[in-house]
């Protein structure tokens, strides 16, 4: 008789996590007057880096100049602190549960290198899409749906619909 090995990691029920995310979005709207989003923190970081490396270029650029203010840094934005909090919280959670380590999870059907190339390429496409859409999935879909915006619902459908279609073509890498 074979004894099945128990998974040592216990995860939250996804419905409980989703419920808490919904409460967090409502609380964020109440406190700040706007929803959640991570792409704003990335934008602030890029603007600060460009402004440090080439201040003349940043000030003359139509894109960067609208985020620059002589009185405060682009990094002085609550979205930057939100994102730092998420990263620090994830690090603490991973440390407490023993899940921190350098590993690349992948199927036996693909190499680590291919998995990392796919992850990196997907991240770049996601970042470009967030800039084109003027917000990431958190800002556009979740926060949009929280205020019953038809654009939020359309965005969420587009995100999951596109993922469902692309999954058919990429599934051979994991199944």
Give CA–CA dist 83/97, Å, rounded: 21
Give CA–CA dist 149/153, Å, rounded: 7
- 35, 142 Cβ separation under 8 angstroms: yes
Give CA–CA dist 55/45, Å, rounded: 14
- 2, 109 Cβ separation under 8 angstroms: no
Q: Taking the model in full, what pTM does it have?
A: 0.67
Which alpha helices (H) appear in 33-111, and where do they start and end? 39-53, 55-60, 62-65, 78-97
pLDDT along the chain (175 residues), means of 10: 57 85 86 79 89 93 88 84 90 85 79 88 85 75 83 86 85 72
């Amino acid at each position: 008789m074979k004894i099945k090995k128990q998974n040592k990691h216990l995860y939250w029920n996804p419905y409980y996590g989703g419920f808490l995310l919904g409460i967090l979005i409502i609380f964020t709207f109440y406190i700040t007057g706007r929803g959640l989003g991570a792409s704003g923190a990335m934008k602030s970081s890029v603007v600060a880096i460009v402004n440090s490396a080439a201040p003349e270029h940043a000030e003359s650029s139509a894109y960067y100049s609208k985020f620059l203010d002589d009185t405060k840094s682009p990094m002085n934005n609550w979205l930057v602190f939100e994102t730092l909090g998420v990263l620090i919280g994830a690090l603490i959670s991973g440390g407490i549960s023993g899940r921190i380590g350098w590993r690349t999870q992948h199927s036996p059907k693909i190499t680590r290198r291919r998995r990392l190339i796919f992850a990196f390429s997907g991240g770049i496409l996601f970042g470009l899409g967030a800039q084109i859409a003027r917000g990431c999935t958190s800002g556009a879909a979740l926060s949009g749906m929280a205020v019953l915006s038809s654009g939020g619902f359309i965005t969420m459908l587009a995100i999951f619909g596109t993922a469902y279609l692309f999954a058919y073509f990429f599934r051979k890498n994991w199944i």
